[in-house]
Amino acid sequence: MPLLEIQNLTVEFPTISGLFRAVDGVSLTCDTGEILSIVGESGSGKSVSMLALMGLLPGNARITADRMQFDGKDLLTLSARQRRSVIGKDMAMIFQEPMSSLNPCFTVGYQLGETLRLHMGLGRAARRARSIELLQLVGIPAPEDRLGNYPHQMSGGMSQRVMIAMALACNPKLLIADEPTTALDVTIQAQILELLVRLQRENGMALVLITHDMGVVAETAERVQVQYAGQKVEEQPVTGLFTDPHHPYTAALLASLPERAVVGQRLPSIPGVVPGQHDRPDGCLFSPRCAFATDLCRREVHAQGPDFGQALCNYPLRLGIPTGHPTMSVALAGEDA
Amino acid sequence: MLRFIFGRLLVLIPTFIGVSIIAFAFIRLLPGDPVMLMSGERVMAPERHAQIMAELGLDRPMYIQYFDYLVGLLQGDFGKSIISKRSVLTDFLTLFPATVELSFCAIVLAVALGIPAGMLAAVKRGTWLDQTIMGTALVGYSMPIFWWGLLLIIFFSGYLGWTPVSGRISLMYFFKPVTGFMLIDSLISGQAGAFKSAVTYLILPTIVLATIPLAVIARQTRSAMLEVLGEDYVRTARSKGLSPFRVVGLHALRNAMIPVITTIGLQIGVLLAGAILTESIFSWPGIGKWMVDSVFKRDYAVVQGGLLLIAAVIMIVNLVVDVLYGLVNPRIRR
């Protein structure tokens, strides 16, 4: 049984104009020692699904799932108090904005020690020792001096290191990193990613890395899950995803990477925008922006099997050719030949 | 920190001069003069009036009178009351503890009720509880103080007979003031029932004086709390598995207190102003009542000296608030 297993997770928020579905039937698994990356644009429900897992969504969110299991515990039936004994201990999370994620009114030492006291019941001296050890682990120089610092006295990269130290305080089995490098300088980004991967290997924990940066995915992840408008559209090992994307959305995302652009030509982009609350199409949500969409796609969409990375597509791509497509597959195959 | 305090003390000097000019001019702008009012309904001969004015030095040009007053101030002499001939400073020091006692109880009540009420309203945002608390706060804020005081007296003192109408302690008790604070003095005196009596006399004025600050603090706490509850670090605190009580009561409240402390500091100034009305309603022998009486008697020396001393108190309170602010908010600490 995998460490983390979520099946058919749906999250809805009541708004003035009706229910807004932020996450739509997402399933995922992640095992000990594995790095799973969730990729998607803003609003694709990446963060919301993980916040739902942590139990950090506001009270008005409606969360349903067929299954939500972590480390043998059924998260759907846990009481709030039982859930709090899991999060921060066995399951920890770091966030996008390190500068605002630390409380400006408390010292680094206090904020680190708080977790240690709550989940491990350490005394004052033990907390201090463990805090110094943790800060050393995440590569902060002179950790003894840093304990008395306030967040405003530290840089963004330093703050993110402290956040990571806080998340690792109780040796969690699962670490969720929600776009941990988005707010940081490029050089710092690489350092933080390297740190996360190193810690993941050393501790043998599972790491869920949420990002919209394909470069980050390529460098760190082992398995990738692509989300679009709240749905999972594809799941593949990282090499497979980059060489042979099965969903047209993934293919279009990869094609629009500057690194893959042909010099002297316009950078390809995906026409249109992600559907919002009121313009969700029937059938495939990507159909309005898809080059291969047919009338069938605008009516209904079927998920493919593991051969096609469970792509949520009627005509999954195989080396860029839509399989079973009424017109395109023949034409493109003909071109190749 | 010391440099900061020293800098703030330097700023006090021009402020003092400004306040002394305003206080000096304000009371002289009112029609009539102390001698005219002392003579009452009997008409005083103009020669006699001029003679007394001259004796008091009030016939000299205004700028000379001011200069004279300023020289006295610099020597620590706040002047003597024209009517009672007692030293203004001595009177102030005798009466001030009564006002401090009342204001202190009022601000404690306002903070003790206002902050939890504001927190509760913020956490239960949009519910009937939030609306009830904020509605009550708005009513309290809009209530005319003298009318509210009279309503309470009619109901609790008149109708129910639970509390006395006015004064600081029952006439049955008498002891020499030691600290000037009735609650402390009654305890020191060791007389049975004296402390209880002092408390019952304090209840209504405290409630009346606390009403507006209470409403303001509750509203400010709510809005500061709502802002803070949406911050990333509150989410971080929850992601650690901390109890909601600790997340709201420690991580959020500590940050929300920064604007609230500023408000509380400002409310202390409002309290001293409010004390003037409240003390008049309840015949509370504090500086508020003293100032009102002196204004009516055109006791120039008392009004100008009293205003200056009150201003000094407010300035010192503000300085203390600024120092506290640094204690709560590490970002402005050096």
d(CA A211, CA A217): 7
d(CA B134, CA B136): 5
Share of chain B above pLDDT 70, in %: 99
Which of chain B's residues have a Cβ under 8 Å away from the Cβ of A104?
233, 255, 329-331
Give alpha helix (H) positions in chain B: 2-29, 34-39, 46-56, 62-74, 88-123, 128-142, 145-152, 182-189, 194-229, 232-239, 244-246, 253-281, 287-296, 300-328
Instruction: Determine, yes or no, domain membership for A278.
Output: yes
At B201-225, the pLDDT tens digits run 999 999 999 999 999 999 999 999 9
Which of chain A's residues have a Cβ under 8 Å away from the Cβ of B235?
56, 95, 101
> Considering only CB atoms, which residues of chain B are within 8 Å of chain A?
231-233, 235-243, 251, 254-255, 328-331
Name, of A213-222, B96-105, B160-169, B264-273, the range with top average pLDDT: B96-105
Contact state of A95 with B243 under an 8 Å Cβ cutoff? no
Could you give all domains of chain B from N- to C-terminal order, each with its CATH number? 88-332 (1.10.3720.10)
The interface pTM score, or ipTM, of the predicted complex is 0.87
Instruction: Determine, yes or no, domain membership for A171.
Output: no
At B166-185, the pLDDT tens digits run 888 877 787 777 788 888 88
How many angstroms away from the CA of A53 is the closest CA of chain B? 11
| Residue of chain B with shortest Cα separation from A166 | B240
Count how many domains chain A has: 1
- B331 neighbors B110 (Cβ within 8 angstroms): no
A310: containing domain: 250-336
Contact state of A104 with B233 under an 8 Å Cβ cutoff? yes
- Is residue A100 within 8 angstroms of chain B, CB to CB? yes
Which of chain A's residues have a Cβ under 8 Å away from the Cβ of B233?
100-104
| Residue of chain A with shortest Cα separation from B241 | A84
d(CA B173, CA B132): 42
CB pairs under 8 A between A and B: 66
How many angstroms away from the CA of A215 is the closest CA of chain B? 26
Name, of B20-24, B45-49, B173-177, the range with top average pLDDT: B20-24
Residue A321 pairs in a beta bridge with A318
Nearest CB among B236, B254, B331 relative to A152 is that of B331
- Is residue A105 within 8 angstroms of chain B, CB to CB? yes
Query: Which amino acid is present at A143?
Result: P
DSSP3 helix / strand / coil % (chain A, rounded to 5): 40, 20, 40
| Integer-rounded Cα radius of gyration of chain B | 24
Contact state of B328 with A163 under an 8 Å Cβ cutoff? no
Q: Tell me the CA distances in angstroms from B52 to A15, A140, B56, B85, one per residue in order.
A: 78, 81, 6, 14
pTM: 0.82
Longest CA–CA separation in chain A, Å: 73
Query: Which amino acid is present at B326?
Result: G
Contact state of A84 with B239 under an 8 Å Cβ cutoff? no
* Residue A63: its H or E element: strand A62-64
| Per-residue exposure over A249-258, b if at least 16 CB sit within 10 Å of its own CB, e if not | bbbbbbeeee
At A159-212, the pLDDT tens digits run 999 999 999 999 999 999 998 888 888 888 888 888 999 999 988 899 999 988
